[in-house]
Amino acid sequence: MVNEYIEKAEENILHTYNRYQVVLDRGEGVRLYGVNGKEYLDFAAGIGVQSLGYGNPEYVEALQAQAARLTHISNLYYSVPMMEAAEKVRKASGMEKVFFTNSGTEAIEGALKVARKYSYTKYGPDRYEIIAMNHSFHGRSMGALAVTGKEQYRTPFEPLIGGVRFAEYNDLESVKAQVTDKTCAVILETVQGEGGIYTAKEEFLRGVRALCDQHDLLLILDEIQCGMGRTGHMFAWQEYGVEPDVMTVAKALGCGVPVGAFVVGKKAAEASLVPGDHGTTYGGNPFVCAAVSKVFDLYEKEHILEHVQKVGGYLTQKLDALVDKYEFFTERRGKGMIQGLEVSGRPVGEIVCKALDNGLIIITAGTNVLRFLPPLVITEADVDEMVEKLERSLA
């Protein structure tokens, strides 16, 4: 049955993903089930999306109620779910204005437009360059690709949008060296996800913030993967006390529905996008905003941030113990529930496939990192089970 489904998918779906040979059917809590009934402990959460796990009854009820009421009206009109969701994003971030998108990639596109429009408004057309980081990942559209610091992703689609310079992550002098009289913004991930789970050093992030203030550049922080509580703070930058001018967020923002947002601070809000500069047909529709609103309610009700700090600490200890035990695990990186184990001398993809055989879903980052992005509601017992399944897969 599984093979028949896979064959049908390959007949009809453009082959842009090398999918694992599993057909998933349903989820419950922190577990997924295949069409053949096999159970999997999920430590990938749909690439960091399903923070509340699967089938949370209050979340499901909120979506069912909104679907029965109203799903879409366009952005020509107001809706109550959009107002409520935007207010909760503002409160959680402390920033000024929100624009809802359909994805993280679209949030990046909007953030880049904010930066260029801000500089155009204040300084004219000659300040348009953006400094991005090597090994970064911001999405697959032409604009997001242009600021993604991996040549293998960019090269087949060049020429992309121009005016992008690349610096080294966690190297402030490298960023300073790229600043010119044409620079308008710096974009980086507070925790690099696809690049291998690298966390920004405090002195680096503070230094970039000071550099942006000195030259009146906008600081764009990409929190699409590391935000929404994954590090134990609602947004990873809040731990540093370094507020961006623009933040992008998606993935767990809707915990399963396709929604993202870019959020702007006061300075950017007052001198960037105006009516006619940006838009989206589906973005911020009542259905997805009902999901966003309920996500923030459930984070508060279930004390998700405190839970991540506690269980994320336990996960850290267990991953550190694996590094001590196995010589091919050379380093643990990350924090909270965005973690990575660097692998040396063994194909990381082989480990992922064997883990899948043993009922554990984990994914990779970069070329040699096991990535752990579990639902934020996992327990210490789930961590223990993950370690047991992973060690069985290493045998």
- DSSP output for 12-38: HS-------S--EEEEEBTEEEETT--
Cβ burial, residue 41 (10 Å; 0-12/13-18/19+)? buried
Is the Cβ–Cβ distance between 358 and 336 less than 8 Å? no
pLDDT at 1: 82
Residue labelled with tokens 């966003």 = 292
Domains and CATH numbers, the chain: 2-56+303-394 (3.90.1150.10), 70-301 (3.40.640.10)
Identify the burial level of 217 via C-beta atoms within 10 angstroms of its C-beta, where 0-12 means exposed, 13-18 middle and 19 or more buried. Answer: buried
The pLDDT of residue 121 is 97
Rounded-to-integer distance, Cα 152 and Cα 144, Å:
14
Query: Please, which residues have CB within 8 angstroms of residue 215's CB and are 6 or more apart in sequence?
Result: 179, 183
The pLDDT assigned to 82 comes to 98
**Residue 25: what pLDDT?**
97
Instruction: Give SS3 for 229.
Output: coil
CB 341 within 8 A of CB 332: yes
pLDDT by residue for the chain (395 residues), tens digit each? 889 999 999 999 999 999 999 999 999 999 999 999 999 999 999 999 999 999 999 999 999 999 999 999 999 999 999 999 999 999 999 999 999 999 999 999 999 999 999 999 999 999 999 999 999 999 999 999 999 999 999 999 999 999 999 999 999 999 999 999 999 999 999 999 999 999 999 999 999 999 999 999 999 999 999 999 999 999 999 999 999 999 999 999 999 999 999 999 999 999 999 999 999 999 999 999 999 999 999 999 999 999 999 999 999 999 999 999 999 999 999 999 999 999 999 999 999 999 999 999 999 999 999 999 999 999 999 999 999 999 999 98
